[in-house]
Amino acid sequence: MDRMLVVVFNNESKAYEGRKALQDLDNDGTISLYAYAVLAKDANGKVTVKQDDDFGPVGTLVGTSVGSLIGLLGGPAGLAIGATAGVLGGGLFDLHNVRIGEDFIEDVSKALLPNKLAIVAQVDEQWTAPVDLRMAPLGGIVFRRALSDVTDTVNQEEIAAMKADIASFKAEAAKESADRQAKLQDRVKQLESKIQAQLQKVQDRRKAVERQAQAKAQRLKSKADVRPSL
């Protein structure tokens, strides 16, 4: 199952041991580790990316999930750049792109207190025991959530409502004074712009999902190429 995984640790050494444990589980085929980043929160609450994976920038590999979650945990004002800037891909703070519920982000945020570290990873795991058993001796607190299907459709009801308003404003403008017509035409332009923005967002999201699928497939192929045949 494709999941978002966050493990919170009390210190840096344990966090890097946890990272190594995930890599070992990936190497032996127990899980598939698509991307990860090690985060640290300082005494002032600023989140720093200490290290990301060696498979390519997180924002490129799974920017619609790992990168977005990092951004939401750090916040627009709280995220600092550490070892890499790859996580700062487009759509960083779009909750929809994370593909998990807001409650998950709140739970992780409560555990990721100042002076603690966390591993944020997107993994494919068939059962939870392997990761949990490796993290428990390290004092790691594990949070996981299955990634929801990506919705690449617009809110049709909202679009229909805006179109109805546009039609109404146009009909009303035909009966009004020039000054009033100009104001109504401005509102029509604003609504048309919002509709186009929603349609563009769907198109961008669809392209991001396609890139993510290609990157994950390439990652799995790379793993298969380096593993010795039996």
Q: HEC profile for 135-148?
A: HHHHCCEEEEEECC
Same domain, 140 and 187: no
Model confidence at 57, pLDDT cuts 50, 70, 90, reads: very low
Domain end residue (candidates: 94, 122, 148)? 148
Residues 144 and 156 in one domain: no
Kindly state whether residues 180 and 90 are assigned to the same domain.
no
Total domains in the fold of the chain: 2
The answer to whether residues 30 and 115 belong to one domain is yes
For residues 132 and 23, state if they share a domain: yes
What is the mean predicted confidence (pLDDT) over 58-86?
Answer: 54
Same domain (yes/no): 132, 164 = no
Does the structure show a pLDDT above 90 at 80? no
pLDDT band at 83 (very low <50, low <70, confident <90, very high): very low
Same domain, 41 and 100: yes
Angle at the Cα of 9 (from 95 to 138), degrees rounded to 5? 135
Strands 117-125 and 141-146: unpaired
User: pLDDT tens digits, residue range 126-180?
Assistant: 889 999 999 999 999 999 988 765 555 556 777 888 888 898 888 888 888 888 8
Burial 151-186 (b: 16+ CB within 10 A, else e): eeeeeeeeeeebeeebeebeeebeeeeeeebeebee
Domain that holds residue 75: 2-148
Type of residue at 165: D
Position 103 scores a pLDDT of 80
User: Is residue 25 located within the same domain as residue 118?
Assistant: yes
Digit-coded pLDDT (tens) for 100-134: 777 888 889 899 999 999 999 988 898 899 999 99
Which pLDDT score is estimated for 52? 62
Question: Is residue 84's pLDDT more than 50?
Answer: no
Q: Determine the pLDDT at residue 26.
A: 92
* Position 50 confidence tier, pLDDT thresholds 50, 70, 90: confident
Question: 125 and 172, same structural domain?
Answer: no
Point out the domain boundary residue: 148, 171, 205. Answer: 148
Co-location of 186 and 199 in the same domain: yes
pLDDT at res. 153: 56
Identify whether residues 163 and 114 lie together within a single domain. Answer: no
Domain end: 100, 129, 148, which one?
148
56, 9: one domain = yes
Instruction: Answer for the pair 81, 50: CB distance below 8 angstroms, yes or no.
Output: no
